[in-house]
Amino acid sequence: MSDAYILGIESSCDETAASVVRSGEKMVSNVVFSQIATHQPYGGVVPELASREHLRAIVPLVRKALEDAHQTYQSVDAIAVTQGPGLAGALLVGISYAKALAFALEKPLIAVNHLEGHIHAVLLEERQKGNRELNFPVLALVVSGGHTHLYLAREQPKGWMYENIGHTRDDAAGEAFDKVAKLLALGYPGGPIIDKLSVHGNPAAVRFPISQLKHPDRNDKGRPRAGQQHDFSYSGIKTAVLRYVETHSMREAIETRRRKLAEMPQPKFEDYLALCEQETRDLVASFQRAIVEDLVEKTLAAARTTEAATLFVTGGVAANAELRATFEQRAAEEGRPVYFPSRPLSTDNAAMIAAAAYPKFLAKDFAPMDFSAEAGMALR
Ligand code: KG4
Ligand code: ZN
């Protein structure tokens, strides 16, 4: 079969992205427009603003992705777009544009689950490097601002199958990074800044108890569910950080930092570092250590109870340096290969959407023109 060029479009949260990927294994172009500057003053994503920014960015962004790939609207073989999960209004921008393109160009339209995209970011890059040695099934930890999910992923004749074997019962790991950063006046998003600040702190300074999962799953509405031993919970640690701030009288220092940062047009990492006294550096390092330990230990425990041959760690939080180093060390000790996407493909992008669409393209698993956004879409 000749090469297939798939144009991917992603707009589920606060990144507008377009990319062309050849046959699921070569990223020919990848353009991402981040809305961080828009949402930063609010300390989190504002859905209405996200939709407006996607609308503004999407047409020039797709044009740029095609130009960078030396492709045209007519030359691509299919249009792939994120159907969910994500913000409904944000998803709709990408979906409407993808539908319009597919209709006008008479090209197949492919709907992709965003979480499946994160998993395929790893496959895309490994194939691009020429790695044909991957063994299946894969145990994938998708860890981002909206998700902390464990999937067993299997390649089947008709495409990929995913079995969810664990998820967060409350906050996602990235959400905990973002909320703690907001509490400590460290800006938005919280992950990258806490990642860098932690290097300057003592991770053993504060002991945070790892979530014990004593409370029921808020998604289960009181009903027990099978396989809960692989679940996560990060709202407790966020509250523990808040309690630490209160009991150690850190409020004043936080407000001073908030004021000083607000006076700077574009604060750099050095500014944040200079405005963080040792107590804050130690606090974030200890917080990060607790989350990393929990993610690594629960994932490896899940791997031991399943027939997973390979581990994938993907999603925005997979960009975290300590998470990568700890996973690499512990997985190696257990003789399990672990793969991550490169940092640009860890956070939201459209190359992962175009890559995940390729098996669907081969299986002619196309979306009808009337499909809609699915904000709470599950991955199966
Ligand atoms: O995958 P992503 O771009 O969007 C979602 O699908 O949610 O992930 C964004 C999340 C944010 O919560 C952000 O704080 C976190 O990923 N993140 C990180 C790092 N870079 C981004 N968390 C920890 N360390 C990082 N270096
Ligand atoms: Zn994502």
Which residue's CA is the nearest one to ligand 1's atom 3? 347
Query: How far apart are the C-alpha atoms of 191 and 178, rounded to whole Å?
Result: 6
CA–CA gap between residue 134 and residue 355 (Å, rounded): 16
Which structure tokens are listed for 221? 């509405």
Q: 114 C-alpha to center of ligand 2: Å?
A: 6
Residue pair 97/58 in contact by the 8 Å Cβ criterion:
yes
Longest dimension (CA), the chain: 66
Q: Compute mean pLDDT per 10 residues along the chain, 380 residues long, and list them.
A: 94 97 98 93 90 97 98 98 98 98 98 98 97 92 96 91 95 96 95 98 92 56 58 94 97 97 94 98 98 97 93 98 98 96 96 98 96 96
Ligand 2 mean position, distance from CA 37 (Å): 18
Q: Which residues contact 319 (CB under 8 A, 6 or more apart)?
A: 191, 192, 195, 343, 346, 347
In the reported structure, the alpha carbon of residue 268 is separated from the centroid of ligand 2 by a whole-number distance in angstroms of: 25
Length of the chain: 380
Q: Which amino acid residue places its CA nearest to atom 19 of ligand 1?
A: 191
Q: How far is the CA of 95 from the centre of ligand 2 (A)?
A: 16
Ligand number nearest to the C-alpha of 147: 1
Assigned token pair, 129:
């490097």
Q: Alpha-carbon distance 221 to 204, whole Å?
A: 36
Strand 310-314 to strand 138-143: parallel, antiparallel, or no bridges (unpaired)?
parallel
The residue nearest atom 8 of ligand 1, judged by CA position, is 316
Residue 224: predicted pLDDT: 45
**Residue 228 buriedness (CB in 10 A; 0-12 / 13-18 / 19+):** middle
Considering every ligand atom shown, identify the ligand nearest to the alpha carbon of residue 32 and give its number.
1
Cα–Cα distance, 361 to 77 (Å, whole number): 9
Smallest CA separation from ligand 1 atom 22, residue = 191
Identify which of 179, 184, 157, 173 has the alpha carbon closest to the alpha carbon of residue 244: 184
Instruction: Supply the pLDDT for residue 158.
Output: 84
**Ligand in closest contact with the CA of 14:** 1
Task: Please say whether the beta carbons of 74 and 105 come within 8 A.
Answer: yes
How far apart are the C-alpha atoms of 320 and 341, rounded to whole Å? 11
**313: Cα within 13 Å, side-chain hemisphere:** 28
- Residue to mutate (ligand 1; options 143, 317, 345; most atoms within 8 A of CB): 317
Please state, in angstroms and rounded to a whole number, the distance separating the CA atoms of residues 364 and 343.
Answer: 31
- Among the bound ligands, name the one nearest to the CA of residue 295: 1
Atom of ligand 1 nearest to the CA of 12: 6
Can you list the pairs that 368-371 forms with residues at least 24 positions away whose Cβ atoms lie under 8 Å? 369/99, 369/102, 369/103, 369/109, 371/83, 371/95, 371/111
In the block, residue with structure tokens 């400590």: 184
SS (H, E, C) the chain: CCCCEEEEEECCCCEEEEEEEECCCEEEEEEEEECHHHHHHHCCCCHHHHHHHHHHHHHHHHHHHHHHCCCCCCCCCEEEEEEECCCHHHHHHHHHHHHHHHHHHCCCEEEEEHHHHHHHHHHHHHHHCCCCCCCCCEEEEEECCCCEEEEEEEEECCEEEEEEEEEECCCCHHHHHHHHHHHCCCCCCHHHHHHHHHCCCCCCCCCCCCCCCCCCCCCCCCCCCCCHHHCECCHHHHHHHHHHHHHCCCHHHHHHHHHHHHHCCCCCHHHHHHCCCHHHHHHHHHHHHHHHHHHHHHHHHHHHHCCCCEEEEECHHHHCHHHHHHHHHHHHHCCCCEECCCHHHHCCCCHHHHHHHHHHHHCCCCCCCCCCCCCCCCCC
Mutation probe of ligand 1 site: the residue of 177, 323, 327 with most atoms within 8 A of C-beta: 177
What does the alpha-carbon distance between residue 173 and residue 144 come to, in Å, rounded to a whole number? 7
Among 347, 348, 349, 352, say which to mutate for ligand 1: greatest number of ligand atoms within 8 Å of CB: 347
CA distances from 5 to 58, 69, 147, 208 (A): 19, 10, 29, 48
Out of 87, 144, 292, mutate this one to test ligand 1's pocket (max ligand atoms within 8 Å of CB): namely 144
The candidate with the shortest Cα–Cα distance to 57, out of 106, 88, 3, 18, is 18
- Residues in contact with ligand 1 by the CB-under-6-Å rule are 13, 144-146, 174, 177-178, 189-192, 195, 315-317, 319-320, 347-348
